[in-house]
Chains A and B, each alone.
Chain A
């Protein structure tokens, strides 16, 4: 159990600044997920915590100690690499044992720890095999066992599941979550898969271009995105964003400081029953896509803007034109720079002079 603090961290490779002035506190015992597009500096951040990369500025604190000058092996941090990085010439046992040997753990104690861990991750039958003869999932388990056996304060996992097939990935996801519950250790997990982030993290850190966009619980990230980037990064399809002219055309009242309005595709109601409250959109169905339980449509509005609408457990719409209602409470507002503006429902209503935000009142073409 350990809290990790990154204070004013900056990282330059040669002259190129990859991370600038990053501040982050990772709660002790949390399952924190770093998520962001490729090249945004997730791995770099992680590697600085592990001590594999040295920050050019700032300090890293683990469990109340500044570890900036502590070599990687002494930070009490264990890491699971994307490509497992198992020692190919050592057996599974040798892989797990290597760190313990280097630490000077006595043989009987090592035997006990290896026995316990391999039991826990189901590797006991494979202890004397070489990593090359194991499947991807088994190799992943060896990597986990190798990290766990050292009983570190912090686990760091850099896209550990990206080499597994979809089914195994979701199974390992569940196993990792259970493992975290069982150990109670701080987990820092990197992924560029937002679904993985949402399903695993109890704390999500969204990064872009080396800057933290938002750090919060998954529901807050989904429900109150701090800016347009987070809003559009989390959720599939991403949040629809309307420009001011679209807002005007749809009769969304102008509010001071609001430059963008957004709503999630799954909050729009396609072809709503009469009397549904909300902003009414009308448009041609440009594309339709079915994933079985859910359908995704793209509506082309009169302005030419495309918005996505997602329905659940409804038959596929075959009509060419469709309407969609967006409940007022599903609207998000953002300012010129894309930062979230808090607008209460009442403010929208007031600005609208009451009444416009109903299906009946919304103008549209047919």
Chain B
């Protein structure tokens, strides 16, 4: 401690100051500089994290504007000499991209809507009522969280084929009509809401539906937004299910199309592939930016509890 103070004094270049007088001051300075250092360290760590996540992204953008030889040169360049917008048209033209994009939107949005329709009442029931078998049912819901898709795709495939749902939007939507994760997340959020609020609403003559819609959903909005994002991104980017459940173009989604870019050309056309990838992530990015505030809020809420 003493040494530290002395060092601080030395460091601050004030050797002449009376030790007795300057000690508290020095200590204050030391504390202040310590705090500064810590803050700096914090920033540095965060910057590093951002770099780790942003680098590949930046590389993807950069590559998507390069010529094919430019993608290979060493040392790599960050800024392409010319912006090759044609990569995007090339990617777009590898197949019926408009159809893929439409499929992706219909499926991801369809799944999301259907999930909202099922998880909200389910979570409400699990959070607010004790009925015969409620614990068992909730247990079953939780168990489904642990079953990997690879384990059930075959029976699901057979079932869909039996109902003639292969290569249809519905066939890609229905297996995800509900979400155990969503039920769990929302149930926890509903359970945080004090009983008194619901009782007050009941005295206010509110029906069960109005209690959910007008009172409880607005209160769990951050959780709802978070879940919606998770679900949307997961199904937007999903490769496995569409791959397995489709045999032609009618219901294929963007991730399949992007994967196909690589296949078709023989040599890996990284620039076109990256352009395709950007087309794929652009909508997600847009959604993220639009709901940033809610996402951060949701995590802050969860952190406080």
Q: Do A and B bind each other?
A: yes
B56 at the A/B interface (Cβ < 8 Å)?
no
B266 at the A/B interface (Cβ < 8 Å)?
no
In the bound complex, what is the Cα–Cα distance between A51 and B205 (angstroms)?
12
Q: Is the CB of B196 within 8 A of A87?
A: no
Q: Is the CB of B219 within 8 A of A88?
A: yes
Interface string of A78-90 (1 = CB under 8 A from B): 1101010111111
Q: Please give the number of chain B residues whose Cβ is less than 8 angstroms from any Cβ of chain A in the complex.
A: 18
Q: Is the CB of A102 within 8 A of B204?
A: yes
Q: Is the CB of A78 within 8 A of B203?
A: yes
A217 at the A/B interface (Cβ < 8 Å)?
no
- Closest B residue to A98 by beta carbon equals B204
A52 at the A/B interface (Cβ < 8 Å)?
yes
Residues of A close to B206: CB separation below 8 A: 73, 98-99, 102
- Closest B residue to A47 by beta carbon equals B199
Residues of B close to A83: CB separation below 8 A: 194, 196
Q: Is the CB of B205 within 8 A of A87?
A: no
B200 at the A/B interface (Cβ < 8 Å)?
yes
Give the shortest distance, in Å, between A108 (CB) and chain B (any CB). Answer: 20
A39 at the A/B interface (Cβ < 8 Å)?
no
Residues of A close to B207: CB separation below 8 A: 102
Q: Is the CB of A99 within 8 A of B205?
A: yes
Give the shortest distance, in Å, between B212 (CB) and chain A (any CB). Answer: 13
B197 at the A/B interface (Cβ < 8 Å)?
yes
B260 at the A/B interface (Cβ < 8 Å)?
no
Q: Is the CB of A102 within 8 A of B210?
A: yes
- Closest A residue to B202 by beta carbon equals A72
A71 at the A/B interface (Cβ < 8 Å)?
yes
In the bound complex, what is the Cα–Cα distance between A229 and B199 (angstroms)?
33
In the bound complex, what is the Cα–Cα distance between A52 and B194 (angstroms)?
14
Residues of B close to A188: CB separation below 8 A: none
B218 at the A/B interface (Cβ < 8 Å)?
yes
Give the shortest distance, in Å, between A161 (CB) and chain B (any CB). Answer: 16
- Closest B residue to A143 by beta carbon equals B200
Q: Is the CB of A71 within 8 A of B202?
A: yes
- Closest B residue to A158 by beta carbon equals B196
Interface string of B205-229 (1 = CB under 8 A from A): 1110010001100110100000000
Q: Is the CB of A73 within 8 A of B205?
A: yes
B201 at the A/B interface (Cβ < 8 Å)?
yes
- Closest A residue to B220 by beta carbon equals A89
Answer whether A73 and B202 are a contact pair too, CB < 8 Å, given A88-B219, A89-B219, A102-B210: yes
Which one of A50, A98, A150 contacts B201 once the chains associate, using CB atoms below 8 Å? A98
Q: Is the CB of A85 within 8 A of B205?
A: no
Answer whether A77 and B214 are a contact pair too, CB < 8 Å, given A85-B194, A85-B196: no
Residues of A close to B215: CB separation below 8 A: 87, 89
A74 at the A/B interface (Cβ < 8 Å)?
yes
Q: Is the CB of B196 within 8 A of A81?
A: yes
Give the shortest distance, in Å, between A89 (CB) and chain B (any CB). Answer: 4
What residues of chain A have their CB less than 8 Å away from a CB belonging to chain B?
Answer: 50-52, 71-74, 77-79, 81, 83, 85-90, 98-99, 102-103, 146, 150
In the assembled complex, 12 residue pairs joining A and B whose CB atoms fall closer than 8 Å, in A order, are A52-B202, A52-B203, A73-B203, A73-B204, A73-B206, A79-B203, A81-B199, A81-B200, A83-B194, A87-B197, A88-B197, A99-B205
What residues of chain B have their CB less than 8 Å away from a CB belonging to chain A?
Answer: 194, 196-197, 199-207, 210, 214-215, 218-219, 221
Given A51-B203, A72-B202, A79-B203, 11 more contacts at CB 8 Å? A50-B203, A72-B199, A73-B204, A85-B197, A87-B215, A88-B219, A89-B215, A89-B218, A98-B201, A99-B206, A102-B210
